[in-house]
Chain A
Amino acid sequence: MGTAALGTFFWGIATGVAMIKGGLSPVQAIGMTIVVFSGTAQLAALPLMIEGAALPVIWLTATLANLRFVLYSAITANEFRRLPLARRFGLGWLTTDSGIATYLHHREAFAAQPRRRAGLYAGINGLTYGAWISGTVIGVVLAGSLPDSPRLAFAGVLAILGLVGAMLRDAPAWANAAVAGILATLATDWPFRSGLFLAILAGALVATVMTRQPVQPGKPA
């Protein structure tokens, strides 16, 4: 579970550097990180904020870049439907890519205990939140000495790839990751990260088809 937080920490450093070099003040950068808590949205919005784009354009761009979280919200809504609404909102807001993947990897141990599952989910994503904030603060403070280089963030990428590798337990998982990764690579330049969203849908579809339960004779599908 710590690997997800470690990857987020390095991503936070790179994002902190990018926000300062983009022109945000340290207070703005750290404040944005605390209340927004989304590297995707922050990095999608940053160049538009630097250009002085209209606010609706900034918000729409961030919305499109974050569409995969709508899918995640369907997962959390089902997982925690018996909990109070305020708690469900809190858990939903804490959702991260690596956090929800790690949670689903470990949830079976608490399958029949919704409150313990909520604790597990909050713990994993809360740790990620802490790593994100601390990484960003370090990036903001050291922005003058660190390069705004993609290599800096690549340690975070390797941490996430490590998570993916550890979860590749069967053929559908391999197919899922391969299809999503290759399509996302081919569609890198599509506008508003639409290629990313379609790649995710394609990967999930392939895995779903490969894991569908076989039809038993005499029983409906």
Chain B
Amino acid sequence: MILQGNDILWAIAGLAAVVFITRNVFVVLPAALQPRGALERALRHVPIAALAALTLPQSLAVLRSASPDLMLVLTDARLPAAVVTVLVAWWWRSALWGMLAGCAVFGLLLVHGAALAELWGSHGQ
């Protein structure tokens, strides 16, 4: 049963505190405890790692199904859209163009993915 009354307010207040603390842990630590050298350099790579770790599992989710095949990949649409997004963004150095290209592919495959997979399959026979 969902939290009621004051419990929801306490839950939200606690979450706000958790978020504030985790985002400011090192701000309150003294200079002697701040990362230096290789550790500081490593931190620069964390954001890209985090963005990839947050987004690739959803993009690759279709590959974790019991029997992934072309039909499933195309009708699911996420993996092809993700690949197009990254490649277009990398090539044109533009996140926006990458997103637009990926959304176009995503929309196209959601509507026509099954038909495309059948067409591909019939040509391959």
CA distance A28 to B5 in the complex (A): 11
CA distance A158 to B107 in the complex (A): 12
Q: Is the CB of B22 within 8 A of A7?
A: no
CB 8 Å contact bits of B53-79 with A (1 = contact, 0 = none) = 111111110011000000000000010
Q: Take A62-B19, A67-B22 as given contacts and tell me if A161 and B49 are in contact as well, using a CB distance cutoff of 8 Å.
A: no
* B93: interface (CB < 8 Å): yes
CB 8 Å contact bits of A62-75 with B (1 = contact, 0 = none) = 11001111111111
CB 8 Å contact bits of A198-210 with B (1 = contact, 0 = none) = 0111111101100
Task: List A residues 30-63 near B (Cβ within 8 Å).
Answer: 31-32, 35-38, 41-42, 45, 49-52, 55, 58-59, 62-63
Q: For the complex formed, measure the closest distance between the CB of B108 and the CB atoms of chain A, giving whole angstroms.
A: 13
B90 — nearest CB in chain A belongs to which residue?
A165
Task: List A residues 15-41 near B (Cβ within 8 Å).
Answer: 22-24, 28, 31-32, 35-38, 41
Q: Is the CB of A172 within 8 A of B45?
A: yes
Q: Is the CB of B96 within 8 A of A162?
A: yes
> Chain A interface secondary structure, helix, strand, loop or mixed?
helix
Give the one of B12, B26, B48, B57 with max A CB within 10 A: B48
* In the complex, chain A residues whose CB is within 8 Å of the CB of B50: 68, 97, 101, 180, 200
Q: For the complex formed, measure the closest distance between the CB of B90 and the CB atoms of chain A, giving whole angstroms.
A: 4
A213 — nearest CB in chain B belongs to which residue?
B41
CB 8 Å contact bits of B27-48 with A (1 = contact, 0 = none) = 1010100110010111111111
* B15: interface (CB < 8 Å): yes
B78 — nearest CB in chain A belongs to which residue?
A154
Q: Is the CB of A73 within 8 A of B25?
A: yes
* B10: interface (CB < 8 Å): yes
Q: Take A49-B11, A177-B49, A200-B46 as given contacts and tell me if A165 and B86 are in contact as well, using a CB distance cutoff of 8 Å.
A: yes
Q: Is the CB of B46 within 8 A of A68?
A: yes
CA distance A127 to B111 in the complex (A): 33
Task: List B residues 86-105 near A (Cβ within 8 Å).
Answer: 86-90, 93-99, 102-103
Other than the known A4-B95, A172-B45, what 13 A-B pairs have Cβ atoms closer than 8 Å?
A: A31-B12, A59-B17, A63-B18, A68-B50, A69-B23, A78-B40, A97-B54, A162-B85, A162-B95, A162-B102, A164-B51, A181-B57, A204-B43
Interface residue ranges, A against B (CB under 8 Å): 2-4, 6-7, 22-24, 28, 31-32, 35-38, 41-42, 45, 49-52, 55, 58-59, 62-63, 66-78, 81, 85, 88-89, 92-93, 95, 97-98, 100-101, 104, 150-151, 154-155, 157-168, 172-173, 176-185, 188, 196, 199-205, 207-208, 211-212
Interface residue ranges, B against A (CB under 8 Å): 1-3, 7-8, 10-20, 22-27, 29, 31, 34-35, 38, 40-60, 63-64, 78, 81-82, 85-90, 93-99, 102-103, 106, 110
